[in-house]
Amino acid sequence: MITLTINGEEHRLDVDPRTSLLDACRDHLGLTGSKKGCDHGQCGACTMLVNGRRINSCLTLAVMHEGDEITTVEGLGEPGNLHPMQAAFLEHDGFQCGYCTPGQVVSAVGMLGEVADGWPSNASKDLQNGAELSGEEIRERMSGNLCRCSAYPNIVDAIETAAK
Ligand code: FES
């Protein structure tokens, strides 16, 4: 039995120790916002935040995250009370089929948090916040999130709006 703290709520789970964090959320807790695209760390559709940092939840075991603060897309906002990043994706049509969108949105929120924290330490020290990122820098920092529909220009526009 493990206890996971997800979107501010504690969940007791009886899962096989080999269960990924993604499968624990999707198959045991009904948190299906995070998507399984590749299941081996290449697409970013499963992106969650662990203690504010982005992670491919398909690559990590649920049992490794007791005591962590886990955020999924369900924890960002809800209909009628969207997170600014979700609202910006809507405003800019930052999606086509939408499959990658939860991962894109969570990753973008985490990415702006990283910039604000000056993390990683080898990143530009001059950046104060995400509003200073160029479109190219956003693409680079979001390169772990693939969109097969190639909605990248609108995704970048959305992130630029949310960063302001
Ligand atoms: Fe985890 Fe693709 S499903 S990176």
Residue-wise pLDDT for 32-76, tens only, equals 999 999 999 999 999 999 999 999 999 999 999 999 999 999 999
Give the number of domains in the chain. 2
- Compute the distance between CA of residue 58 and CA of residue 144 in angstroms, rounded to an integer: 13
pTM, 2 dp? 0.94
46 lines ligand 1 (CB under 6 A): yes
Among 126, 112, 99, 118, which Cα is nearest to 44's? 99
Tell me whether strands 47-50 and 69-71 are parallel, antiparallel or unpaired.
antiparallel
45 lines ligand 1 (CB under 6 A): yes
56 lines ligand 1 (CB under 6 A): yes
Percentage of residues of the chain with pLDDT beyond 70: 95
For residue 143, what are the CA distances in angstroms to 25, 28, 35, 137? 24, 29, 17, 10
pLDDT of residue 118: 83
- 133 with 68, same domain: the answer is no
- 36 with 97, same domain: the answer is no
Return the H-helix or E-strand segment holding 53.
strand 53-56
- Compute the distance between CA of residue 100 and CA of residue 104 in angstroms, rounded to an integer: 6
Among 99, 98, 97, 85, which Cα is nearest to 156's? 85
- Compute the distance between CA of residue 31 and CA of residue 50 in angstroms, rounded to an integer: 15
CA 135 to ligand 1 center in whole angstroms? 24
Q: Do 110 and 120 touch, CB atoms closer than 8 A?
A: no
- 22 with 69, same domain: the answer is yes
- Compute the distance between CA of residue 163 and CA of residue 13 in angstroms, rounded to an integer: 36
Ligand 1 binding pocket mutation candidate from 25, 46, 106 (most atoms within 8 A of CB): 46
Instruction: Check which CATH number belongs to the domain holding 120 and give it.
Output: 1.10.150.120
- 25 with 93, same domain: the answer is no
Residue nearest to ligand 1 atom 4, measured at CA: 41
Domain's final residue, options 29, 52, 75: 75
Specify the ligand 1 atom closest to the Cα of 37. 3
Domain's final residue, options 46, 75, 104: 75
- 65 with 109, same domain: the answer is no
CA 144 to ligand 1 center in whole angstroms? 9
- Residue count (the chain): 164
38 lines ligand 1 (CB under 6 A): yes
Q: What confidence tier does 121 reach under pLDDT thresholds 50, 70, 90?
A: low
Per the structure, the complete domain to which residue 49 belongs is given by 2-75
- 49 with 102, same domain: the answer is no
Average pLDDT, stretch 83-93? 97
Domain's final residue, options 57, 75, 93: 75
